[in-house]
Amino acid sequence: MIDQAESLRKQLMSSSVQSARVISVVSGKGGVGKTNITVNLALSLMKMGKRVLVIDLDVGMGNVDLILGRRAPNHIMDMLQHHLSVWEIIEEGNDGLHTIAGGRNFGSLALVTDEMLEHFIKQLEELETFYDFIFLDMGAGATETALKFILSSHEILVIATPEITSITDAYSMMKFIYKKDSSLPFYLAVNRCENEREGRDTSARLANVCKQFLKKELTFLGMIPLDQTVLESVKKQMPFTLNKPASEASRAVFELASKYAGASQKQKASYKSFISRLKSFLSER
Ligand SMILES: Nc1ncnc2c1ncn2[C@@H]1O[C@H](COP(=O)(O)OP(=O)(O)O)[C@@H](O)[C@H]1O
Ligand SMILES: [Mg+2]
């Protein structure tokens, strides 16, 4: 573990200074594919030469490591409760992706105290200059602590499916976030689509309500088809873009990754650091 921590640190220290873009991946309802899309999008961005970290913030129900077929010895609550360094909990698998596990034995993010959050911030401060993208894979809905992380990120990736319940929940989530911070950019990916049209219709419906009621743009990144290979890959504990790179779902995620990398590049200049945003939210307590 320590050896790995040392080598990670060295590897990252040698990289040029950059400031990570922090993306919260959210939905209203659970089970819409947030974790699968986050992990596969992260792997695709990595293939494009980006440095990526995925933090599983579905604390207590974490499954980022399950999908990747990893067994992380330490997870985020270990770091917070035992004051570990972040280097001790970052895992690097054979696929090269860096992850922080959410763990499955602890309650929820609600257990995170102010003191733990301060430790978290100190640890993250080190990471910000080493990654291009830091994904926060959130649980369903929004607890008070989860909301702090969401509002601290630079942008929001909303995952919805064409089901009416998912559409209304996704909108509620966006409205909730928008009311706290109207400036956060919203991106949308529509998962589990039977066909392209379903994806476009779902995105149009959500974009319309956002425009009408929130006066807010929603950038549609693309749709991911309902694809049996996703299910098979979850069972095999291998991300579908690695297990079946030629599948429809994988091709859709590769496309999503290049669209996303392009779209968010345009906004980069105006980013305030994740840490300073998080600090300002904490001081509002
Ligand atoms: N595009 C898809 N096609 C088929 N099944 C999918 C797809 N996306 C997700 N699933 C199924 O939905 C389940 C839940 O996905 P997951 O990524 O864990 O959702 P969330 O993180 O939003 O709770 C997966 O285990 C998989 O079986
Ligand atoms: Mg999940």
Asked if the structure places residue 281 within a domain, the reply is no
Q: Domain range holding 61? A: 2-12+20-271
Asked if the structure places residue 150 within a domain, the reply is yes
Which of 61, 234, 250, 251 gets mutated to test ligand 1 (max ligand atoms within 8 A of its CB)? 234
Cα separation of 180 and 164, whole Å? 25
97-129 tens-digit pLDDT = 999 998 876 566 777 788 888 888 888 878 888
The number of domains in the chain is 1
Residue with more model confidence, 167 or 103: 167
In angstroms, what is the span from residue 4 Cα to ligand 1's centroid?
31
Asked if the structure places residue 161 within a domain, the reply is yes
Question: Phi and psi of 283, rounded to 5°?
Answer: -70, -15
Asked if the structure places residue 49 within a domain, the reply is yes
The mean per-residue pLDDT over the stretch 146-170 comes to 93
Cα separation of 40 and 12, whole Å? 22
Asked if the structure places residue 279 within a domain, the reply is no
Asked if the structure places residue 62 within a domain, the reply is yes
Q: Which atom of ligand 1 is nearest to the CA of 226?
A: 3
Whole-prediction pTM: 0.90
pLDDT given at position 105:
67
Q: What is the CATH number of the domain that holds 167?
A: 3.40.50.300
Q: For atom 23 of ligand 1, which residue has the closest CA?
A: 31
Tokens 């956002």 belong to residue: 210
The mean per-residue pLDDT over the stretch 272-283 comes to 71
Asked if the structure places residue 231 within a domain, the reply is yes
Asked if the structure places residue 79 within a domain, the reply is yes
Question: Residues 61, 102: contact at Cβ < 8 Å?
Answer: yes
DSSP states along 147-159: HHHHHHSSEEEEE
Q: Decide whether any atom of ligand 1 lies within 6 Å of the 70 Cβ.
A: no
- Euclidean distance between the first and final Cα of the chain, in Å? 36
The mean of the pLDDT values for the chain is: 88
* Region of poorest pLDDT, from 134-148, 203-217, 223-237: 134-148
Which residue from 186, 197, 180, 141 is spatially nearest to 277, judged by alpha carbons?
180
Q: Decide whether any atom of ligand 1 lies within 6 Å of the 67 Cβ.
A: no
Q: Decide whether any atom of ligand 1 lies within 6 Å of the 191 Cβ.
A: yes
Residue with more model confidence, 100 or 266: 100
Residue 239: C-alpha distances to residues 52, 90, 183, 230 (Å)? 15, 18, 33, 8
